[in-house]
């Protein structure tokens, strides 16, 4: 697989992090274990470890995002790296500079890592294929393709509550068709050995080849939630209404919104997750989002530890085995 | 070549030396912190023998190493656990083998990221030659003179034994 060549080095270690697809269970588990080590750094008086001191990490965001960028920035800061945020909408793209020219310029600033967010699928991979050999690329979301660090922080959060992936029923609810989060989660859940993954949503928002991804499709929230251990809610992007894929927000909420009554169909100790930002009253009601089974804010804290883990694994490969591309 | 050594007498020696050092410095309620992995094993024994009231802390110094860019990540060990506030407390820092001093440098940096202790006492089961930093132990179980190609490591936790390898 092409992805494999780009994101792994000759020894099978993570060189870039573009997608969870095709990675080994060992590698995903290594990310989770490493994140476990970093999860205590936030409790220190000095919330910092000197691991990436002297490294320069550039957050290259072609698409606006607050949470993802902030947690990447915090993760890099807690590793003692220097961080530069570049918001490309307001930058040289509008002056007609090509992407490759921009990359050359950023490389000339002796940077070590690009964290890339882009509205086009494949953008992070394209950049990884064209950067200088000493630079690593982390995909912070590309189009509807992948959002691997979000998927891994979700896996980390699941493992904290339900340590045995092989005993889980997991439901993903919402716009799976357009969701890079869902795609990355499905790959990660399959790789980690979750036996039953359900995709729940209206027909127009479930990809036609969903069964090939290794999921069971449900068009009814009631049947889909029965006995599940983990519920992964997705954000409903309001532009989907305009695309005529959905009749209205209120009808969507009536059929697929997670309410206290519907949550009761799942296991009594089921956890509710959401990548944020949440649309209260559209995909989830406040009583659930703020309720005892919600781990939505834990996901945010865990996101920092997981991103620290990925950054340090990618930049911490020993140089004697550095491939020469 | 490898040889095993029973370390029980060394641990007993350490307990006696720690007791007299604590008395000499007038420290009545020290905290104890072991460095993963061997240091924690040694610390468990000392912690019990000295009847320290607060739970044993442990440090994983991976993120403070100075050779990270040369050897990369080693995520298998447990995270650091300091289940107490260290501000103004007397700390007994425990490791299995004191060699170059780099591990202790990293451990001290990590401890100070949690707060400002009143003092730190370093206790090592074995101190061997090969120092690269100006760091000495306050309490030592045994001093070993080894050749450069010899290594000493602890195996444990049950039974705890020291193994000297190499230097045939």
| Pair (A134, A153) in one structural domain | no
Rounded to 5°, the CA angle B89-B91-B95 comes to 165
Contact A169, A178 (CB under 8 A): no
Are A76 and A160 in the same domain? Answer: no
Residue A323 has pLDDT above 50, yes or no: no
Helix axes A148-161, A67-78, angle to 10 degrees: 80
Query: With an 8 Å Cβ cutoff, are A318 and B79 in contact?
Result: no
Q: Looking at residue A325, what is its pLDDT?
A: 34
| Same-domain check for residues A99 and A59 | yes
Residue A187: CATH number of its domain: 3.40.50.1370
Tokens representing A321 are 């085995």
Asked whether the beta carbons of residue A312 and residue B73 sit closer than 8 angstroms, the reply is: yes
Asked if A153 and A289 sit in the same domain, the reply is yes
Question: Closest-CA residue in chain B for A36?
Answer: B79
Domains of chain B: 2-165 (3.40.50.2020)
Domain count along chain A: 2
A230 vs B164: which has the higher pLDDT: A230
**A142 with A154, same domain?**
no
- Check whether residue A291 and residue A152 sit in a common domain: yes
Q: How do residues A73-110 score in pLDDT, each as one tens digit?
A: 999 999 999 999 998 876 555 566 788 888 999 999 99
Query: In this structure, what token pair is assigned to residue A203?
Result: 């027909």
pLDDT digits (tens, 9 = 90+) for A12-34: 899 999 999 999 999 999 999 99
Q: Are both A165 and A212 inside the same structural domain? A: yes
> Is A67 an annotated catalytic residue?
yes
pLDDT, tens digit, 9 for 90 and up, residues B113-165: 999 999 999 999 999 999 999 999 999 999 999 998 899 989 888 888 999 88
> Are both A132 and A20 inside the same structural domain?
yes
Q: Are residues A82 and A30 in the same domain?
A: yes
Cβ burial, residue B52 (10 Å; 0-12/13-18/19+): middle
Q: Which domain holds residue A202?
A: 148-295
pLDDT tens string A299-308: 999 999 999 9
Chains A–B, number of C-beta pairs less than 8 Å apart? 56
Rg (alpha carbons) of chain A, rounded to whole number: 20
Which run of H or of E encompasses A108? helix A99-108
Question: Helices A180-191 and A25-38: crossing angle, nearest 10°?
Answer: 110
CA-closest candidate to residue A241, choices A231, A233, A251? A251
CA distance B14 to chain A (A): 30
Asked if the C-beta of A49 comes within 8 angstroms of chain B's C-beta atoms, the answer is yes
Tell me, yes or no, if A117 is annotated catalytic.
yes
**Stated pTM of the model:** 0.86
């Amino acid at each position: 697989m092409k992805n494999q060549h780009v994101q792994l080095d000759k020894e099978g270690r993570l060189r870039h992090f573009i997608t969870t697809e095709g990675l080994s269970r060992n590698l995903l588990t290594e990310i989770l274990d490493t994140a476990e080590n970093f999860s205590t750094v936030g409790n220190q008086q000095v919330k910092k470890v000197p691991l990436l001191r002297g490294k320069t990490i550039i957050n290259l965001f072609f698409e606006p995002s607050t949470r993802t960028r902030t947690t990447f920035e915090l993760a890099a800061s807690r590793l003692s790296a220097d961080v530069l945020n570049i918001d490309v909408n307001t930058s040289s793209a509008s002056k007609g500079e090509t992407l490759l020219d921009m990359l050359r310029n950023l490389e000339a600033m002796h940077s070590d890592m690009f964290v890339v967010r882009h509205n086009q699928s494949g953008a992070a991979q394209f950049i990884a294929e064209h950067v200088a050999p000493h630079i690593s690329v982390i995909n912070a979301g590309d189009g509807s393709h992948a959002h691997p660090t979000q998927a891994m922080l979700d896996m980390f959060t699941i493992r904290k509550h339900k340590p045995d992936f092989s005993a889980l029923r997991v439901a993903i609810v919402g716009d799976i068709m357009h969701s890079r989060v869902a795609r990355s989660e499905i790959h990660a859940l399959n790789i980690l050995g979750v036996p039953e993954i359900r995709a729940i949503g209206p027909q127009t928002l479930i990809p036609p080849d969903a069964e090939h991804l290794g999921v069971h499709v449900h068009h009814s929230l009631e049947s889909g939630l029965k006995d599940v251990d983990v519920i992964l809610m997705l954000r409903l992007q309001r532009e989907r209404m305009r695309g005529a894929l959905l009749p209205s927000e209120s009808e969507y909420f009536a059929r697929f919104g997670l309410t206290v009554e519907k949550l009761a169909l799942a296991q009594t100790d089921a956890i509710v997750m959401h990548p944020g930002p949440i649309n209260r009253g559209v995909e989830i009601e406040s009583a659930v989002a703020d309720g005892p089974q919600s781990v939505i804010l834990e996901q945010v804290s865990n996101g920092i530890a997981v991103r620290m883990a990925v950054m340090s694994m990618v930049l911490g490969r020993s140089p004697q085995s550095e491939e020469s591309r | 070549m490898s040889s095993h050594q029973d370390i029980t007498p060394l641990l007993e020696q350490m307990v006696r030396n720690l007791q007299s050092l604590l008395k000499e410095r007038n420290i009545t309620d020290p905290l104890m912190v072991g460095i993963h992995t061997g240091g924690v094993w040694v610390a468990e024994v000392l912690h019990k023998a000295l009847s320290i009231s607060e739970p044993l802390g442990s440090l994983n110094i991976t993120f403070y190493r100075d050779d990270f860019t040369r050897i990369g990540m080693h995520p298998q060990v447990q995270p650091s656990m300091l289940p107490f506030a260290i501000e103004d407390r007397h700390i007994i820092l425990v490791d299995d083998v004191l060699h170059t001093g780099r591990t202790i440098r990293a451990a001290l940096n990590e401890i100070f990221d949690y707060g400002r202790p009143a003092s730190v006492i370093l206790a090592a089961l074995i101190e061997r030659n090969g120092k690269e930093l100006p760091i000495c132990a306050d309490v030592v179980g045994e001093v070993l003179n080894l050749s450069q190609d010899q290594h000493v490591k602890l195996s444990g936790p049950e039974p705890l034994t020291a193994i000297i390898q190499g230097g045939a």
